[in-house]
Amino acid sequence: MKILDQFIVKTLPLVPKPIVARLSKPYIAGDNLDSAMAVCRDLNEKGFRVTVDILGEFLTNIDQAEESLLGYKQVLEALVANEIDGNISIKPTFFGLLLQLDRCRELLHELLTLVAKHENFMRLDMEDTPCTDMTIDLYDAYREEFGPKRVGIVLQAYLRRTMDDIAAITARGQSHFRLCKGIYVEPENLAYQGYEEVRANFLECLKAMFDAGAFVGIATHDDYLVAESEKIIRERGLGPEHYEFQMLLGVRETLRDQIRAAGHNLRIYVPFGKDWYGYSVRRLKENPALAGTFFKAMFIKG
């Protein structure tokens, strides 16, 4: 990262919210369900599948989790009503994972019942390491009850434990993974810190998932990982029933068009909602073109 970018990343918390809002516009499908559905329809028309995420995490009060459930029920109904080729992604902490595990489990169970009724699918996003074991336990329980076609989990290639998790999870049943690098700040004893180390583990994890016969959502914008994943897919003669690529809304659209043009299925992660700040800051920190965009946003109105 260039020095100017590093400076901006460090000072991002000081940037006025309206500027962060302007910068994060490409990454967020508006602040309401209608705007999110319009983005989903547009992406479907362009040949992309979607997964919808309501922005929000780390609740302070378990009552807020009821609102999360209501919001996601509305998303599901809207996906069905609009005949969108898409599913939902949820963060367990948005349902109170760290506040009241039993209530979180009940609320997600209620949501999954609706998911199953509509023959849709729910992905459990993976958050930071205090959530890892609990999220895997939730996945195991729901997969057992609702079946592997209704629920999936995310595993993060930067975690040292992930290869073991793949072995354990796939030994317990047919699995549906999303594999990503991992975005939270984790200590050295838990997570690989080197860029190349994470890449290498990503590919080892991908192979292990395929070896176990799992479906994998290959979630990355990294050219190298896309190319190496394509190689693995080709060598193994895998078809679309075994994998899809996944990318975040607004990120590297040229790459996503190339992946689609090469004949792979590609799902776009579509976040929306009022609680956009934390998500936006994480996206902006990843963007090396941040400096230019930042200064443009400071000086160009509109």
Residues at the interface with ligand FDA (CB under 6 A): 125-126, 154, 156, 180-184, 219-222, 246-248, 251-252, 269, 283, 286-288
Of 106 and 228, which CB lies nearer to ligand FDA in the complex structure? 228
- Asked if residue 91 belongs to a known ligand binding site, the reply is yes
CB of 49 to ligand FDA, least distance (A): 11
Of 33 and 287, which CB lies nearer to ligand FDA in the complex structure? 287
Please, which residues bridge with residue 248 across strands? 269
Of 42 and 63, which CB lies nearer to ligand FDA in the complex structure? 42
CB of 119 to ligand FDA, least distance (A): 22
- CA–CA gap between residue 71 and residue 49 (Å, rounded): 21
| Selected catalytic residue, list 22, 123, 150, 178 | 178
CB of 286 to ligand FDA, least distance (A): 4
CB of 234 to ligand FDA, least distance (A): 20
| 178 catalytically annotated | yes
Of 96 and 182, which CB lies nearer to ligand FDA in the complex structure? 182
- Asked if residue 126 belongs to a known ligand binding site, the reply is yes
DSSP string, 126-180: --SGGGHHHHHHHHHHHHHHH-TTTEEEEEETTBTTHHHHHHHHHHHS--EEEEE
- Asked if residue 109 belongs to a known ligand binding site, the reply is no
Of 63 and 253, which CB lies nearer to ligand FDA in the complex structure? 253
**What torsion do the CA atoms of 163, 212, 122, 246 make, to the nearest 10 degrees?**
70
CB of 274 to ligand FDA, least distance (A): 20
| Selected catalytic residue, list 22, 125, 143, 267 | 125
| 160 catalytically annotated | no
- Asked if residue 174 belongs to a known ligand binding site, the reply is no
- Asked if residue 283 belongs to a known ligand binding site, the reply is yes
- Asked if residue 74 belongs to a known ligand binding site, the reply is no
CB of 247 to ligand FDA, least distance (A): 5
- Asked if residue 282 belongs to a known ligand binding site, the reply is yes
Of 117 and 128, which CB lies nearer to ligand FDA in the complex structure? 128
Positions marked active-site? 125, 178
Query: Would you list which residues are annotated within the binding site for substrate?
Result: 91, 282-283
Query: Would you list which residues are annotated within the binding site?
Result: 91, 126, 156, 220-221, 282-283
Query: Would you list which residues are annotated within the binding site for FAD?
Result: 126, 156, 220-221
